[in-house]
Amino acid sequence: MGSFPKHLVVLMVIAGLSVLMDRTCGAQLHESERQPPTVRGTVHIKMQNALADKSATLTVHCSGRLRDEPADLGLHDIAPTSTYEFTFETDNISRTLYYCSFQWPPKNSRNFDIFSQDRDGRKGDFYWTVSDTGPCLLDVGTGNEDCKNWS
């Protein structure tokens, strides 16, 4: 036992150290990768000017929160019977929300949450027809409209 070769002891110490360093570096790598896993979803919003006055332009301004960032889509004029659309990506760790103001002549101004992740889920196609009494969500499959009140 007393004659255990010194060079073997040195080799064993080196081997032990390298295992230890491997573990430490591995842990640091793991630390930097520790992001919560997220699932994305694509949402497509389309809205049509369905005002009774077939000569009235509908002006829409949508803003809110895209995942964790403030979002502002600016002002858009929708000609009679025309559409305005936008697409964005949600994830499952934040709550995307777009609220819109709608204005049309002579001095009408109404608001509606055109997308709320809490209400509408994480993905999908949403086709709204916007009339004087409020927006209606079109079920493309059946052609049925689910009309909502302005908020």
Ligand X SMILES: *[C@@H]1O[C@H](CO)[C@@H](O)[C@H](O)[C@H]1NC(C)=O
The CA distance from 120 to 43, in Å, is 10
Query: Residue 81 corresponds to which tokens in the numbers above?
Result: 């019977």
Question: Binding to ligand X by residue 40, rule CB under 6 A?
Answer: no
Residue 31 exposure: Cα atoms within 13 Å on the Cβ side? 6
Among 24, 28, 38, 108, binds ligand X (CB under 6 A): 38
Closest distance to ligand X from the beta carbon of 86 (Å): 24
Total residues at the site for ligand X (CB under 6 A)? 5
Interacting span for ligand X (CB under 6 A) from 23-31, 32-40, 61-69, 81-89: 32-40
Q: List all residues 6 or more positions away from 131 whose beta carbon is below 8 Å from its beta carbon.
A: 50, 51, 52
Confirm if 150 and 111 have CB atoms less than 8 A apart.
yes
Closest distance to ligand X from the beta carbon of 55 (Å): 48
Amino acid letter, residue 102: F
Closest distance to ligand X from the beta carbon of 119 (Å): 17
Window 77 to 116, contacts with ligand X (CB under 6 A): 92-93
Q: Which residues bind ligand X (CB under 6 A)?
A: 37-39, 92-93
